[in-house]
Structure 1
């Protein structure tokens, strides 16, 4: 079974190499916007082959990109348009079913690529050399740059791990280039015999994650110290956006990076704790796709309602799920997605499900049928654990994971 991890390599460039990489990066971004405008003008085209046939020569002439990069640009734009078309179609279905009244506007104008992140293909645009050096293609030819990184990732690269595409990422505040390399690692294929335990993970804001097992064990990972910092960043960002000066814009960039690092570090810590607590287990995660369309949100324009909507939409739960998934595979466990419908409203004892089971939508769960009382987030985690157990039992009987379960990380 293949597991994909991303190695973040710091490039130690000279001033000449820095200039060459930056020029290449900006030319790549300009070519993305050119192809995006072309695709929008020709029926919002998402076919990468047709885009490449129509724009390849112009990309080479106008932006002077090497051949492989000129092929990567239409593929990236085509993939972006396919994603937008999928969102448009899903939005149409949700509007027809009455789940939302909002029309998705992602294709009302041509998508604009702002980030200068550049995609490289292994053995075509970049290759690794001896003594921790990497050869990278630029508009002026190849440059050989020394790199540093996490020791385990560097060891995987040097031992001949299967290397995929990479991204050249520029940290603007630090004026530093990083190469984000995808590595495929071989892990043992999971079986019901190797994954005898199950655990459920419920995510939220009061508690970033709550885990529960069928043996009654539970763990709460609080967001008490993190959420106030995120709220402070939101208030500060609002004031700076209102001010609108150049110095305010620079502060916004710094705040954005700090908040992103805070969330990423927190998700890393929480996911690592969860995986280490449940070795050789089947870890159930909520299937949160289209959760904003499937749940009723507060409506209105007063400060309390805006704060509630911001609170529920700002934390990166998908990132936390992805970190749990790949760390689980590295520790001989596996994460799967289960149905998230009514996990915090269904009684784990008698199965009675209704909104009244959570008085005032608070942290207390009180079953209106059997009066079973428990912490609401723990109820959600236990329900997820039971649904994960059902999938494991079906796995034992059929030898295949149920089609209802989505295996993360495969």
Structure 2
């Protein structure tokens, strides 16, 4: 099994090397905008091959980019246009079905590339040297720059991990260049016998994650500060955008990305804590594809509904899931996805499932059949743990493990949910309700 790790390497450049890298970055960005304008003027073209045939010579002559970079630019622009076309088509379908009345305007004008981050291809644009040095291509030729980074990532590079493309990123505040390198690490597939326990992880808005094991242990991971700071950032951006002065614009630039970095750091901390608390485990995660579309409030445009939609749009559960998945492999654990249907509405003791089991959609779970009472998020984590245990038993019997449920086959999904409804939690391991 392979997992992708991004190594962040700090480049210790001289003033001459710094100038060469910055000039290359800006030329790359200008070429992206040139190709974007060309694609828009010629029918909003997204075919990378046709874009390269039409713009390659002009990129080389006008922006003096090396050949490989001149090939990377049309591919990046073509990929951006393909993404925008996908959004346009999806929006047309949703408008036809009555899910939305808004028309997607992403292709009303040519996309503009603002970030000067450029892409390097391994062994063509950059290579690693001995003594923690990297050779990077610029407009003036190659420069050899020493680098530093996380010890484990540096060790992976030196031990011959499969290295992919990288991005040259410039931290404007610190005036520092970083090379973000993609590493593919080959991990041995652990047999089911190596997993000491089964863990269910329920993610949510009130609690970032709640874990439960089959032995009755549970952990609540909460960080209320991210929610409060998210609302504060939204109010601050609204005031600054409404003001519209040059100082307000400078302030918006200064705070851009701060909320994103805060959430990423919290997700790193929570995912690392979960993996270290449960080494050599089979970790079950909810399959939450399209969860935002399913939970979006569409009726009316009240301030409360807009605030709820804004909160759900900033829910970074996918990032937390991905961090748990790759950190688990590094600690001899395995993360899999299970069906998320009715995990917070099904009683783990008697199996009774209904919306009324969660009064007012709050934190209290109260079974209408057996009066079983517990924290609603902990109920979800336990249901996930039991479903993960069932997958582990099937893995032992068949020798095959599916890390993601097949949701395209309705009959197969119905059969899985029927099996899940037969699962029961032992009352001997149930703690008192925690609200």
Instruction: Kindly state the Cα deviation for residue 307 of structure 1 after the two structures are TM-superposed.
Output: 2.5
Aligned to 1:346: 346
1:216-254 CA distance string (max 9 Å, x none): 221100122332223222222222222222222222223
Assess, with a 3 A threshold, how the Cα gap between structure 1 residues 394 and 101 changes in structure 2: closer, same or farther.
farther
Paired residues of 1:7 and 1:153 also in contact (CA < 8 A): yes
CA distance in 1, matches of 2:350, 2:88: 40
Paired residues of 1:99 and 1:293 also in contact (CA < 8 A): no
Aligned to 1:383: 383
Paired residues of 2:297 and 2:305 also in contact (CA < 8 A): no
Paired residues of 1:298 and 1:308 also in contact (CA < 8 A): no
TM-score, structure 1 as length reference? 0.90
Assess, with a 3 A threshold, how the Cα gap between structure 1 residues 287 and 90 changes in structure 2: closer, same or farther.
farther
Instruction: Kindly state the Cα deviation for residue 17 of structure 1 after the two structures are TM-superposed.
Output: 1.8
Instruction: Kindly state the Cα deviation for residue 403 of structure 1 after the two structures are TM-superposed.
Output: 7.7
Structure 2 unmatched ranges of 5 or more: 405-435
CA distance in 1, matches of 2:238, 2:403: 44
From the CA coordinates, give the structure whose radius of gyration is larger: 2
SS in structure 2 of the partner of residue 4 of structure 1: strand
Greater shift, 375-384 or 346-355, is seen at 346-355
1:94-128 CA distance string (max 9 Å, x none): 55666555554444443332221110011111112
Assess, with a 3 A threshold, how the Cα gap between structure 1 residues 76 and 210 changes in structure 2: closer, same or farther.
same
Assess, with a 3 A threshold, how the Cα gap between structure 1 residues 90 and 191 changes in structure 2: closer, same or farther.
farther
Assess, with a 3 A threshold, how the Cα gap between structure 1 residues 106 and 357 changes in structure 2: closer, same or farther.
farther
CA distance in 1, matches of 2:334, 2:99: 32
Aligned to 2:129: 129
Paired residues of 1:263 and 1:315 also in contact (CA < 8 A): no
Which protein, 1 or 2, shows the higher relative CO under an 8 Å CA cutoff with sep ≥ 6? 1
Greater shift, 192-201 or 141-150, is seen at 192-201
Assess, with a 3 A threshold, how the Cα gap between structure 1 residues 95 and 289 changes in structure 2: closer, same or farther.
farther
CA distance in 1, matches of 2:352, 2:119: 51
Instruction: Kindly state the Cα deviation for residue 69 of structure 1 after the two structures are TM-superposed.
Output: 0.6
1:104-162 CA distance string (max 9 Å, x none): 44444433322211100111111122232211111121122222211222222223322
Instruction: Kindly state the Cα deviation for residue 5 of structure 1 after the two structures are TM-superposed.
Output: 1.0
Instruction: Kindly state the Cα deviation for residue 208 of structure 1 after the two structures are TM-superposed.
Output: 0.8
Paired residues of 1:343 and 1:379 also in contact (CA < 8 A): yes
1:359-380 CA distance string (max 9 Å, x none): 1111112223333222111122
Assess, with a 3 A threshold, how the Cα gap between structure 1 residues 109 and 335 changes in structure 2: closer, same or farther.
farther
SS in structure 2 of the partner of residue 368 of structure 1: coil
Instruction: Kindly state the Cα deviation for residue 299 of structure 1 after the two structures are TM-superposed.
Output: 4.4
1:47-89 CA distance string (max 9 Å, x none): 3223222222222122221110111112222222333344444
Assess, with a 3 A threshold, how the Cα gap between structure 1 residues 363 and 203 changes in structure 2: closer, same or farther.
same
1:160-197 CA distance string (max 9 Å, x none): 32221110011112221110011222221132222353
CA distance in 2, matches of 1:401, 1:17: 49
CA distance in 2, matches of 1:391, 1:107: 44
CA RMSD of aligned residues (A): 2.3
Q: 1:264 and 2:268 equivalent?
A: no
1:337-391 CA distance string (max 9 Å, x none): 2222332223223333332222111111222333322211112222222232232
CA distance in 2, matches of 1:6, 1:327: 12
Greater shift, 155-164 or 198-207, is seen at 155-164
Paired residues of 1:300 and 1:306 also in contact (CA < 8 A): no
SS in structure 2 of the partner of residue 383 of structure 1: helix
